[in-house]
Amino acid sequence: PKVMVVYGTRPEAIKVAPVIKALEADPNLEPIVVVTAQHREMLDQVNQVFEIEPDVDLNLMAHGQTLNSIAGSVISKIDEVLAEHEPDAVVVQGDTTTVMGAAIAAFNREIPVVHLEAGLRSGDINSPFPEEANRKIVSQIARVHLAPTMVSRSNLLADGVPEENIHVIGNTVIDALQWAVERPVEFSLPELRALESDDRRVLLVTTHRRENLGDNMVNIGKAMRHLATNYPDLLIIWPAHKNPKVRASIAPQIEDLDNVISIEPVEYGEFSHLINASDIVLTDSGGIQEEAPSLGKPVLVLRENTERPEAVDAGTVKLIGTATEKIIAEVSQLLDDSKAYRDMANAVNPYGDGHSAGRSVDVLNELLGGR
Ligand code: UDP
């Protein structure tokens, strides 16, 4: 049986990579790798690390793309790819416009959709941002739901998904992370190579979410400036997202500071080691909320809600929003209060054991009668 895996952005690439590897190793299943390249460079970076060469590259990223222009081209282009390759199932991961569009295209051709990382819900039904709606749309049309945790399973059941179609397999991000952390890397940037002999504490910052563009991003930059100035023994590392709107809000506020290092997005193999070399993570990323806890790093999340409550409940992630004063207070507490730090760092990672990709392939074999 042929299994088509479709993805378009960096976080999807990281989470499908272990599944593609497991499919390649399975004698019964033939993977067909399709990238929409909704994001171009950051996606390519991940494919290179995992040595994945797409069979089809739609190269859809366009200057000034909108959600509707991406959705429209994903549906029509994936439709053509489905007609040509006739896969027996289509795997999509997460909640982007690529995922929603590819799932609709497969559904309309009566090809079973397998949703990896199914059942996440922020509960924010009024959100003007597409992720929550994309997740819910895919949950309505997927045939198989690969849920990372029991929380996501419950969300799916509450949405009326039949129990027999849900499989709790953990999150493949832990598979990817373990693979990456175990591989020795030498940082390509001299600033990062210098970390090993640097005694300063490291605050790793990443921001990119649509809901934080504008004022929130400016407030985050202000907090970074304040923290860097108040704690000369702190080193802030900021891999700047490729979105120019993110850069324009933060870069001008920190560029004159010696203890803030602004760098390009870091290749995944190196990024996992960078999390390891950090003391605190400040982020609005979904994936990093899952990765950093499993490396014992406290995560302060720059959002008001999260579709990933498990690590918040476990105590290793805290939702702090984006008010400048609040960010300063929360980071300062972790820097000044070693007990508060230890309590967060020592909490347990709720996202899996690193064997989720193998389970996803078992489910695919069950679905497609491969074994
Ligand atoms: N990441 C990376 N290099 C970086 C920043 C992040 O490889 O410079 C990885 C990170 O480890 C995580 C993923 O990218 O697995 C998160 O992507 P992003 O924050 O863009 O998206 P989200 O997780 O919020 O969907």
Q: How confident is the model at residue 371 (pLDDT cuts 50, 70, 90)?
A: low
Mean pLDDT score across all residues of the chain: 96
According to CATH, what is the number of the domain 189-345? 3.40.50.2000
What is the arithmetic mean of pLDDT over 364-371? 85
Write the residue with the smallest CA distance to atom 24 of ligand 1.
Answer: 285
Fold of 2-171+353-368: Rossmann fold (3.40.50)
Residue 309, ligand 1, Cβ within 6 A: no
Residue 18, ligand 1, Cβ within 6 A: no
Residues above pLDDT 70, as percent of the chain: 99
Name the residue of 266, 268, 276 to mutate for ligand 1: max ligand atoms within 8 A of Cβ: 268
Write the residue with the smallest CA distance to atom 11 of ligand 1.
Answer: 288
Tell me whether residue 117 is one of the annotated catalytic residues.
yes
Q: CA 294 → CA 10, 23, 226, 299, distances in Å?
A: 20, 25, 29, 11
| pLDDT tens column, 5-33 | 999 999 999 999 999 999 999 999 999 99
Spans of all domains in the chain:
2-171+353-368, 189-345
As a whole number of Å, the end-to-end CA separation of the chain is 10
Tell me whether residue 241 is one of the annotated catalytic residues.
yes
What is the arithmetic mean of pLDDT over 260-284? 97
Write the residue with the smallest CA distance to atom 17 of ligand 1.
Answer: 11
Q: How confident is the model at residue 3 (pLDDT cuts 50, 70, 90)?
A: very high
What is the arithmetic mean of pLDDT over 98-118? 98
pLDDT of residue 129: 86
pLDDT at 191 over 90: yes
pLDDT at 370 over 80: no
Residue 43, ligand 1, Cβ within 6 A: no
> Looking at the DSSP assignment, which residues form a beta bridge with residue 260?
236
> How many residues make up the chain in this entry?
371
Residues above pLDDT 90, as percent of the chain: 94
Catalytic: which of 10, 26, 39, 95?
A: 95
Give the whole-angstrom CA distance, residue 356 versus residue 21. 12
Contact yes or no for 170/359 (Cβ under 8 A) = yes
pLDDT at 212 over 80: yes
Specify the ligand 1 atom closest to the Cα of 94. 25
Tell me whether residue 208 is one of the annotated catalytic residues.
yes
What is the arithmetic mean of pLDDT over 260-272? 96
- The CA 186 to ligand 1 mean position distance, Å, reads 19
> Looking at the DSSP assignment, which residues form a beta bridge with residue 3?
31, 89
Residue 287, ligand 1, Cβ within 6 A: yes
Tell me whether residue 51 is one of the annotated catalytic residues.
no
Q: How confident is the model at residue 306 (pLDDT cuts 50, 70, 90)?
A: very high
| pLDDT tens column, 222-257 | 999 999 999 999 999 999 999 999 999 999 999 999
Name the residue of 288, 289, 295, 303 to mutate for ligand 1: max ligand atoms within 8 A of Cβ: 288
Q: Which two three-digit tokens encode residue 221?
A: 């930059």
- In sequence order, the 6+-apart residues with CB closer than 8 A to the CB of 165 are 142, 143, 144, 145
Residue 10, ligand 1, Cβ within 6 A: yes
pLDDT of residue 57: 97
DSSP 58: -
Q: How confident is the model at residue 63 (pLDDT cuts 50, 70, 90)?
A: confident
Residue 11, ligand 1, Cβ within 6 A: yes
pLDDT at 176 over 60: yes
CA atoms within 13 A on the CB side of 68: 0
Q: Which two three-digit tokens encode residue 336?
A: 């000044």
Tell me whether residue 131 is one of the annotated catalytic residues.
yes
Across 143-246, the runs of DSSP E, i.e. the strands, are: 144-147, 166-168, 201-206, 234-239
Tell me whether residue 330 is one of the annotated catalytic residues.
no
Write the residue with the smallest CA distance to atom 12 of ligand 1.
Answer: 287
Residue in this structure with the two tokens 């602004």, named with its chain if needed: 262
- The CA 12 to ligand 1 mean position distance, Å, reads 9
- The CA 118 to ligand 1 mean position distance, Å, reads 19
Kindly report the pTM of this predicted structure.
0.95
What is the arithmetic mean of pLDDT over 101-121? 98
* Helix intervals (H) in 40-194: 41-49, 67-85, 97-108, 130-141, 150-158, 172-182, 190-193
For the four alpha carbons of 23, 29, 34 and 38, in that order, the dihedral sign comes to negative
In the sheet that holds 260-263, the strands lie side by side as: 260-263, 234-239, 201-206, 280-283, 299-301, 317-319
* Burial status of residue 66 (CB atoms within 10 A of its CB: 0-12, 13-18, 19 or more): exposed
